[in-house]
């Protein structure tokens, strides 16, 4: 079940509140003196890159300096995050933190950094996952899909961008909660999974809501993986409504920095971020994507990642998931 802490975070996000946004009253008076790098651990044009480039102008207004978005892709985001954490801790390098790396990857891979090297700055957004099926396969709802999976256990597959990915684990959550046995088929990249579902090569997939929305006319989104309906999919029930309260998942993005970065600078960046999220262009973008944007204290962001790490550790160990 979603922890009391996480529910508090999500409730605040839905009501448009910023959580513990600390003003930069104690930041160095002469910071920032030159452009700030914002590291995106993925390629240009992707969802995280789009967020960075949407945020940058609003952050520049707040900080009075240029924000240079730098793409450092590779190893599913590990290269860019490692680059951020190993940068000089002088307040001029910030980057994106990703749930998959902070909460899932530590149980499956050897990381190039230690978890205690992470300088948590703030939560940025929560993007609920959804479950989607091929409507041509006779699955008009999650209930119908589960019934068909029980009747035809050998013929039902679900896909993901790879073993150990967050959406692979989403499928395992559904298998366990619904008492079904969908076969997992890994693909290279989310677009390939979407294409496989559209062609009925697989019958179900989990996806971050922003990735599924452009395909909602071709696919059938049958559930939001949480306890609150999404404003962009008001007619789609939640997994909790459908009787699966433990089938919950979201992509959680945050801002990180090298851990030794002066606290005053991280506080001032967080304050600027909170104000940037109020910019109409920025807030409208997050709303269109179904993402729930809010800042948080550094400790709140860290606690959220610690909670998620424990949740996914149990699931990975119970299902003997190994990345070869």
CATH of the domain at 206: 3.40.190.10
* pLDDT tier, 188 (very low <50, low <70, confident <90, very high otherwise): confident
Residue 240, in any domain of the structure: no
pLDDT score, position 143: 95
Average pLDDT over residues 19-32: 56
Whether 169 and 74 share a structural domain: no
The pTM assigned to this predicted structure is: 0.87
For residues 139 and 208, membership in a common domain is answered with yes
Whether residue 237 lies inside any domain: the answer is no
User: d(Cα 174, Cα 9) in Å, to the nearest integer?
Assistant: 24
The pLDDT of residue 189 is above 50: yes
Whether 84 is covered by a domain: the verdict is yes
Whether residue 308 is contained in a domain is answered as yes
Domain hosting residue 14, numbered range: 4-127+249-318
How confident is the model over 1-20, as a mean pLDDT? 45
In a domain, 146, yes or no: yes
Asked whether residue 238 is assigned to any structural domain, the reply reads: no
102: CB partners within 8 A, 6+ apart: 115, 118, 305, 308, 309
Instruction: List pLDDT tens digits, range 264-279.
Output: 999 999 999 999 999 9
pLDDT at 252 over 80: yes
Closest CA to 24 of 65, 81, 72, 63: 63
Say if strands 36-40 and 93-98 run parallel, antiparallel, or are unpaired.
Answer: parallel
Res 12: pLDDT: 46
What is the pLDDT, as a whole number, of residue 17?
A: 44
pLDDT tens digits, 70-127 = 999 998 899 999 999 999 999 999 999 999 999 999 999 899 999 999 999 999 999 9
Going by pLDDT thresholds of 50, 70 and 90, the confidence category of residue 7 is low
Pair 136, 122 in one domain: no
Are 24 and 115 part of one and the same domain? yes
Q: Are residues 304 and 201 in the same domain?
A: no
Confidence check: pLDDT of 28 > 70: no
Residue 99 lies inside a defined structural domain of this protein: yes
Residue with tokens 């109409």: 280
State the Cα–Cα distance between residues 213 and 184, nearest whole angstrom. Answer: 23
Whether residue 149 sits in one domain with residue 116: no
Q: Given this model, what pLDDT does residue 249 score? A: 96
pLDDT at 1 (0 to 100): 41
Find the mean pLDDT for residues 222-243.
Answer: 96
CATH, residue 305: 3.40.190.150
Together in a domain, 99 and 136: no
Note whether 217 and 304 are same-domain residues: no
Residues 137 and 185 in one domain: yes
Does one domain contain both 210 and 256? no
| Helical packing angle, 166-178 and 298-318, nearest 10° | 60
Structural domains in the chain (count): 2
Residue at 139 is within a domain: yes
Predicted pLDDT at 14: 43
């Amino acid at each position: 079940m979603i922890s009391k802490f996480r529910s508090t975070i999500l409730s605040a996000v839905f009501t448009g509140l910023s959580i513990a946004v600390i003003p930069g009253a104690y930041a160095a008076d002469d910071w920032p003196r030159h452009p700030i790098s914002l590291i995106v651990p993925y390629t240009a044009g992707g969802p995280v890159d789009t967020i960075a480039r949407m945020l940058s102008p609003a952050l520049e207004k707040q900080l009075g300096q240029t924000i240079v978005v730098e793409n450092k892709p590779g190893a599913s985001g590990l290269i860019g995050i490692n680059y951020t954490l190993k940068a000089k801790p002088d307040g001029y390098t910030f980057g994106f933190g990703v749930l998959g790396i902070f909460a899932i990857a530590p149980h499956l891979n050897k990381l190039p950094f230690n978890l205690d090297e992470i300088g948590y700055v703030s939560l940025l957004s929560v993007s609920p996952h959804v479950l989607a099926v091929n409507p041509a396969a006779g699955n008009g709802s999650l209930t119908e899909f589960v019934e068909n999976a029980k009747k035809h256990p050998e013929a039902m597959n679900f896909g993901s961008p790879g073993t150990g990915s967050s959406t692979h684990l989403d499928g395992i959550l559904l298998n366990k909660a619904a008492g079904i046995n969908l076969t997992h088929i890994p693909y290279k990249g989310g677009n390939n999974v979407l294409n496989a579902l559209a062609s009925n090569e697989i019958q179900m997939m989990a996806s971050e809501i922003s990735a599924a929305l452009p395909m909602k006319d071709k696919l059938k989104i049958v559930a939001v993986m949480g306890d609150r309906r999404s404003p962009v999919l008001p007619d789609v029930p939640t997994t909790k409504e459908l009787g699966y309260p433990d089938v919950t998942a979201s992509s959680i993005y945050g801002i990180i920095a090298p851990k030794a970065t002066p606290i005053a600078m991280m506080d001032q960046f967080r304050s600027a971020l909170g104000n940037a999220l109020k910019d109409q262009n920025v807030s409208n973008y997050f709303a269109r994507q179904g993402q729930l944007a809010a800042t948080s204290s550094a400790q709140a962001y860290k606690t959220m990642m610690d909670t998620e790490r424990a949740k996914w550790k149990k699931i990975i160990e119970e299902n003997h998931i190994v990345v070869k």
